[in-house]
Amino acid sequence: MHSVVLYTVLNLFEGICVQRIACELKMAKLYTFEEVSKHRSIKDCWLVIEGKVYDVSPFMDDHPGGDEVLLSSSGKDATADFEDIGHSDSAKEMMDKYLIGTVDMLTVPKKRAFVPPQEVVSKANKGPDFTIRILQFFVPLLILGLTFVVRSYTKEK
């Protein structure tokens, strides 16, 4: 009886060790930040969280927050983004499946360089959009005014 329990415990421990060794082997691959930041598309998205690199491309459709959240966190150290959300323990365990290596922390910029958005020339007073907005404002007022005129005209007679 004791040998069966001991054997079961050893098998369980061995399974955990095998899983941990496999995880450590995945982490043996060292990526530069520049290499990781090239993977910023829906079909090819990598994230850096706590110095580890995750290929979340297969998870894009299944992520509860949507693929936009993952894409917005790519190309930078996403540790703060990940921790701010407050992921569950099961979500953190799921990450092992997507682990592909580690990032060389010497290549990660200390502060992400600010890239200003491209200036868009305002066309607020031009084109069909402006005309539609004017009509959307004045047509209901015109209908309301006509309603009062018709009501007051029919009420007098």
| 78-94 pLDDT per residue, tens | 888 898 888 888 888 99
The tens digit of pLDDT for each residue in 122-142 reads 555 556 777 888 889 899 999
Sheet arrangement for strand 46-49? 30-31, 99-103, 52-55, 46-49
Among 63, 48, 140, 61, CA closest to 103: 48
> Which ranges constitute the DSSP H helices of the chain?
2-26, 33-36, 67-73, 79-85, 89-94, 127-156
Mean pLDDT across the chain: 78
**Contact assessment for residue 101 and residue 47, using Cβ atoms and an 8 Å cutoff:** no
50-77 average pLDDT score: 90
pLDDT at position 7 is: 44
Pairing of the two strands 30-31 and 99-103: parallel
129-156 average pLDDT score: 88
pLDDT at position 25 is: 45
92-104 average pLDDT score: 93
pLDDT at 61 over 70: yes
**Contact assessment for residue 47 and residue 70, using Cβ atoms and an 8 Å cutoff:** yes
- Compute how many other C-beta atoms are within 10 angstroms of the C-beta atom of residue 81: 15
Q: Which CATH architecture has domain 29-107?
A: Roll (3.10)
Element (H, E) at 54: strand 52-55
Q: Is the dihedral of CA 47, 49, 54, 56 positive or negative?
A: negative
pLDDT at position 145 is: 94
All structural domains of the chain with their residue ranges: 29-107, 116-157
104-128 average pLDDT score: 64
